Amino acid sequence: MNKRPLPIIVGNWKTTPATLAEALKFIKQLDAKCVASKKKLPKKAYYLAVPDIFIPFLADISKRGYIGSQNVSGVAPGQTTGATIPSQLVSGGADFTLIGHSEVRARGETAEDRSHKLALSLQGKMTTVLCVGEETRDKEGKYLGVLEADIKKSLSLVTRSLFENLIIAYEPVWAIGGKTAATPQECFEVVIALRRALANIAGIDYAKKVHVLYGGTVTEDNARTFIQDGGVDGLLIGRASQDVAAFSNIIKNCHGA
């Protein structure tokens, strides 16, 4: 999965749908829409982060996309109750995972937690999407320093040789689930800062291997503008990915950008 077709369109189902039957129906409909698309799509056109219990079932039937997890634990194999480790997810069919989503952070995840999760996930050769984003945006640009520090702390246990399986998703917290997304220009400024942070950690050659996505109130109407003008390599989509028509339209529109 190192050579990923661009753009990378990642959906996050969160705690939807309510049943496996609904999830299976969604994937079948989504794949059908990808096959029927008049625009030429890559063989694998989307990523979907789904509830862990659905992964083995959806991985078996998804022909046009990758199925992944919304989180992993940062513990090693052994005597820990209630935790799922990367190798278990991979053996169950997961192709990738999200780490550091703002909703997980809000439930108490720390930078130390993220550093262990990222190290274990990337060491397991799992494509890993690290989510970062500021809660508020100040006019002086101090938030850029906060984001750069977040990247450095989260990747503190990751060797640069593992960067080829790393993806960064910029999700400003103030834009998630809101009425207003960041502008492409605001997004572009952050992309520059994130790449600078990555270059400081591992050098420019390794930093170039990392794709950067945008997430936060992405819709059918604005998705393509981030690909064209926001300096990103793809998108991380929440609510719109839970609607098969909206998600398939975003996939088709962005691959035609």
How would DSSP label each residue in 113-159?
A: HHHHHHHHHHHTT-EEEEEE--SS--TT-HHHHHHHHHHHHHTTT--
Look at phi and psi of residue 78 and say left if phi exceeds 0, alpha if psi is from -120 to 50, else beta. left
- At 180 the pLDDT is 84
Helix, strand, coil distribution of the chain in percent, nearest 5: 45, 15, 40
pLDDT in tens, the chain (257 residues): 446 778 999 999 999 999 999 999 999 999 999 999 998 999 999 999 999 999 999 999 999 999 999 999 999 899 999 999 999 999 999 999 999 999 999 999 999 999 999 999 999 999 999 999 999 998 888 999 999 999 999 999 999 999 999 999 999 999 987 778 899 999 999 999 999 999 999 999 999 889 999 999 999 999 999 999 999 999 999 999 999 999 999 999 998 76
Angle at alpha carbon of residue 221, lines to 215 and 227, rounded to 5°:
50
| Options 109, 148, 171, 211, the catalytic residue | 171
- At 1 the pLDDT is 45
Is residue 164 part of the annotated active site? The answer reads no
Whether the CA torsion 156, 157, 163, 165 is positive or negative: it is negative
Distance in angstroms (rounded) separating the CA atoms of residues 165 and 175: 27
Q: What distance, in Å, lies between the first and last C-alpha atoms of the chain?
A: 22
Distance in angstroms (rounded) separating the CA atoms of residues 151 and 79: 30
Distance in angstroms (rounded) separating the CA atoms of residues 40 and 31: 14
Is residue 211 part of the annotated active site? The answer reads no
Distance in angstroms (rounded) separating the CA atoms of residues 83 and 211: 28
- At 2 the pLDDT is 47
